Amino acid sequence: ALSFDFYAASCPNAELMIRNTVSSASSNDPSVPGKLLRLVFHDCFVEGCDASLMLQGNNTEQSDPANRSVGGFSVIESAKRLLEIFCPGTVSCADIIALAARDAVEIAGGPRVQIPTGRRDGMVSLASNVRPNIIDTSFTMDEMVKLFANKGLSLLDLVILSGAHTIGSAHCNTFRSRFQQDSNGTLRLIDQTIDTNYADELMKQCPVTAQPSVTVNNDPETSMLFDNQYYRNLLAHRVLFPSDSVLMSNVNTKKMVEDFANDQQLFFVNWGAAFVKLTSVGAKTDEDGEIRSSCTATNV
């Protein structure tokens, strides 16, 4: 099983070294916290929290389109290199990913969460495992609930963890389905679930002619701050993905959204519990898996 401070004896400064790495990477590049937070989600939902997403090669998870824009790998590798100097062969890449995401939230102004450690690194990474396990922005509530339930996560966990969209950014093509291109090549809103002024802002930032690399903020108000603004955005219908908007179309989730929009502390307390659950999904421990010496390849 996972346990708190698993490295207390074997590498007492492990959590501190990871935190310092995340902190300096984030001050050099403010997009780092968002990247690290998305990275843990995409790692944990495919083969469990086992750093399968770090493995490079033909047809590994990284090559699936759903992972094409996932980032933060270099930050995980820097932390790993440091740990290999001080505590060789001791700290798993899976733990580094979970701890780095935990630190990213705190560095962005969110709550500090204690998470258990002792995850081991997986040996399997297949592109074909990604599609069935990662939620698409077009999923219905039922489809999202089902996938979350498969991972031992509840409806509340879905609403809470979606609050991660209070930081970070998204490429224009990820919400293009809300618009249709007319014969003159201009975009028109075809999705009645978002605010029309917000839709206008999005069309300006993401015209048809925009380069594929263009991104917009997930949270149009406080994109750098991990706060409860995501829920206020939902109430104002100012969210990017249909999978966000869906949280307003169900009475139970709508009530949760209202509660978190009104009470940041309530969001933070619930975030801690849901994040511990997310980072425990399918964790490999004891005899399972290995401790990689480099995060990008299994040991030989």
Name which of Ca ion, ligand HEM, none residue 37 binds, using a CB cut-off of 5 to 8 Å depending on partner kind. ligand HEM
Q: Rounded distance, CA 53 to CA 266, Å?
A: 32
- Residue 226 CB, nearest distance to Ca ion (Å)? 6
Question: Which DSSP category does 178 fall into?
Answer: G
- Nearest-approach distance from CB 105 to ligand HEM, in angstroms: 9
Which residues ranging from 197 to 256 are in contact with Ca ion (CB under 5 A)? 219, 222, 225, 227, 229
Site residues for ligand HEM, window 99-158 (CB under 6 A)?
135-137, 144
Q: Does 52 bind Ca ion (CB under 5 A)?
A: yes
Per-residue burial over 148-171, b if 16 or more Cβ lie within 10 Å, else e, is: beebebebebbbbbbbbbbbbbbb
* Residue written as token pair 């916290």: 33
Q: Please say which residue, 83 or 242, places its beta carbon nearer to ligand HEM.
A: 242
Closest CB 71 distance from ligand HEM, rounded Å: 6
Which DSSP letter does residue 248 get?
G
| Residue 83 or 147 having the CB closest to ligand HEM | 147
CA-derived radius of gyration, the chain: 19
Q: Residues in contact with Ca ion, total (CB under 5 A)?
A: 11
- Per partner kind, with CB cut-offs from 5 to 8 A, the member of Ca ion, ligand HEM, none near residue 21 is none
Catalytic one among 35, 42, 120, 232?
42
Question: How far, rounded to the nearest angstrom, does the alpha carbon of residue 295 sit from its chain's CA centroid?
Answer: 19
Min dist CB 52 to Ca ion, Å, is 4
Choose among 15, 14, 12, 93: nearest CA to 54: 93
Binding pattern to ligand HEM, positions 151-190, x when CB under 6 A? ----------xx-xx-xxxxx--x----------------
Q: Which long-range contacts (CB under 8 A, 24 or more apart) does 253-256 make?
A: 253/141, 253/155, 253/158, 253/159, 256/155, 256/156, 256/159
Q: Which residues bind Ca ion (CB under 5 A)?
A: 43, 46-47, 50, 52, 166, 219, 222, 225, 227, 229
Task: Tell me which residues are annotated as active site.
Answer: 42
